[in-house]
Amino acid sequence: MTGAVADPQSANTIRAVVDTILPSAEGRTGGVELGADQHAVEQLDKYLPGFPDMVAALFDAFASDERTGASFTDLSPQERGNVLRAMASDESQDVREALDSVTIFALGGAYSEWSARGETPPRPRVWDAIGYPGPSEGYPEYRRGI
């Protein structure tokens, strides 16, 4: 991870969350293989230094509710899904926003140009898989005369 400051266990927890949200399936690359977990940790830390550790602690607290004494990484895929559903329906907006922040940054890491870093031009493989043609160049003639 470049520039991200997160405890290794926190990074592992976020990796497990990303793997739950964006798993590999039927020959398709998952979020962890695309490095979306790294993107999530980096962006969470840019948003608020130390936030990856706080978010990971929250996932672990909810995991312990699912199975006493367990961390999020200890849970089965089904139990992890239960934790994410519990967090998504929690009365606390802060809990829902913590889940949303990891989800948004994971999706951004998987489906944006970020996942194609190092490729020229940067075109993520997932774009072709979902039929996305890429960013539009827009209509330059529209802006003429403005």
Q: What is the pLDDT of residues 68-85, one digit of tens each?
A: 999 999 999 999 999 999
Q: Give domain status of residue 63, yes or no.
A: yes
Q: Give domain status of residue 2, yes or no.
A: no
Is residue 121 over pLDDT 90? no
Q: Give domain status of residue 43, yes or no.
A: yes
Q: Give domain status of residue 3, yes or no.
A: no
Could you tell me the pLDDT band of residue 45, with boundaries at 50, 70 and 90? very high
Q: Give domain status of residue 97, yes or no.
A: yes
Q: Which domain holds residue 92?
A: 8-143
Could you tell me the pLDDT band of residue 146, with boundaries at 50, 70 and 90? low
Residue type, position 140, single letter: P
Which of 43-52, 124-133, 134-143 is predicted most confidently? Answer: 43-52
Q: Residue 1: its pLDDT value, please? A: 42
Is 106:17 a contact under the CB 8 Å cutoff?
yes
Task: For the chain, give percent helix, strand, coil, nearest 5.
Answer: 60, 0, 35
User: What's the domain count of the chain?
Assistant: 1
Q: Residue 28: its pLDDT value, please? A: 83
pTM: 0.80
Q: Give domain status of residue 1, yes or no.
A: no
Q: Give domain status of residue 134, yes or no.
A: yes
Q: What is the percent of the chain with per-residue pLDDT over 90, rounded to a whole number?
A: 64
Residue 21: CB partners within 8 Å, gap ≥ 6? 31, 84, 102, 103, 106, 107
> 96: burial class by Cβ within 10 Å (0-12, 13-18, 19+)?
middle
Angstrom distance (rounded) from CA 10 to CA 42: 12
Q: Give domain status of residue 137, yes or no.
A: yes
